[in-house]
Amino acid sequence: MDTLILLRHGKSAYPDKVKDHDRPLAQRGIRQAGLAGKAIRRYGHVVDLVLCSTAERARATLAQAAMDAPVRFLPTLYGATGEQILTIVDAERGDATTVLVVGHDPGLAEAAQLLDPTFTFAKFPTSAFAVVEDGHAELHIPR
């Protein structure tokens, strides 16, 4: 794998009596997720495989980001630590050279820090994504 892109879900809504796993995106999150997808493409990344949390807000983020790649929805990404995320990526990636993970904080920040100890962002803003290439992680915040 040459490139790993770690995308945090968009800003979520907090409706009453909805379980955390089932929370939808807020209007702002819908807009953010679309911008994130455009930014990933603008930077020239061609995603070969998407690994996405089964949480509603992650699935909706992926839908708005409009990635043209095979998708695997994995319940194990929901609440995963950085180490667990990297283990999942290693197990699922196959021959993919650019993998996009759509998931949650703090696991995404932890994964980036494990791959690049100089990565200093302890928290990802919603719809931000880190691109990890050659042991270097760079955070992008589409707005």
Give, rounded to a whole angstrom, the gap between the first and last alpha carbons of the chain: 28
Give dist(CA 8, CA 91) in Å, integer.
20
Asked if residue 57 belongs to a known ligand binding site, the reply is: yes
Residues 6+ apart with CB under 8 A from 142: 32, 35, 36, 38, 39, 127, 128, 129
Residues 6+ apart with CB under 8 A from 49: 69, 70, 71, 72, 92, 93, 94, 96, 98, 99, 100
Q: Scanning the structure block, which residue is given the tokens 């990565």? A: 119
Residues 9 and 61 sit within 8 Å (Cβ to Cβ): yes
The binding site for substrate comprises: 57
The binding site comprises: 57
